[in-house]
Amino acid sequence: MNEFMNFDEISRETWQNLYKTSIAPLTNKELDGIRSLNDEISLQDVQDVYLPLVHLLRLYKKNLEDMSFSKGLFLQKIVKTPPLIIGISGSVAVGKSTTARLVQLLLSRAFKNLSVELVTTDGFLYSSDVLKERDLIERKGFPESYDMERLLDFLYRVKNGETCEIPIYSHEIYDILPDKMQEINNPDILIVEGINVLQNQQNQLLYVSDFYDFSIYVDADETLIEKWYLERFDSLLKLAQKDDTNFYHQFTKMPFDEVMKIARETWAKVNRVNLHDYIEPTRNRAEIILHKTDNHHIDKIYLKKF
């Protein structure tokens, strides 16, 4: 069975003609400000791929507003439009963080009077102390290392129009930041980014997928993702050389070949296993799949039929 049977495959050339605009509403400086380590992206990508995507998201936002209005007519009362929640998933090192920040920035431009917030599911990882206590430190990033009840509660409260505080994860210390929280104050649009966004965790009453109005999966061949992972690891080492509080600083004291061997083993034993077993199987739950080739170039878009 074709794994993409429920998707229309659209070439970049076709996709870019679905929504035309003369100038991308970003500068190279702004693009540099949201680009993750080693993630290649250009103003041409914004114009060809992301502006049509944002136009599609506008349609989903309008549909959500229309449904709330119609429901209000049916119930004979005012029904407030809930936040549009967008999930963005994909492998470690595939570039989903850059995609999330770019979508946030473009939606802020498209909806100047609305608030657009971004959270990452890294904030719902258990702290390193808890992971060690539960003998899960080697399983960090796997489904059991996340406090999914807390994520479900957060999504429910956001949909319900409540103000929430959530933990912040730091890649520098490789742990949850103590005594720091991110406040999410009743946004109009919320973007949730992370490797586990489309995984079907549930409690007795709710599924995570119940809360997403639109979802994006950033995809690429596994050999390319591994290459990007190793390049990013190398960049993190360079950044950590003079910062002894950085998690990666410990590796800067070791021979480079030995460190990169550790990185390759981490990819093979952790990230590749997680990709095969838990992340990639959720790909077809997305509304849209952005497929990347060399240099993070998006060549194909898969849009779910129904």
**Annotation: binding site for ATP:** 90-97
Please state, in angstroms and rounded to a whole number, the distance separating the CA atoms of residues 209 and 31: 30
Tokens of 32: 């540099």
Q: Considering only CA atoms, which of 119, 109, 137 is closest in space to residue 26? A: 109
Q: Considering only CA atoms, which of 106, 105, 88 is closest in space to residue 97? A: 88
Please state, in angstroms and rounded to a whole number, the distance separating the CA atoms of residues 188 and 117: 8
Would you give the DSSP letter of residue 270? I
Q: What are phi and psi of 24, to 5 degrees?
A: -70, 130
Q: Which residues of 31-65 are buried (b: 16+ CB within 10 A; e: fewer)?
A: beebbbbbbebeeebbbbbbbbbbebbeeebeebe
Q: Where are the alpha helices (DSSP H) in 46-165?
A: 51-75, 96-110, 128-133, 148-159
Binding-site residue ranges: 90-97
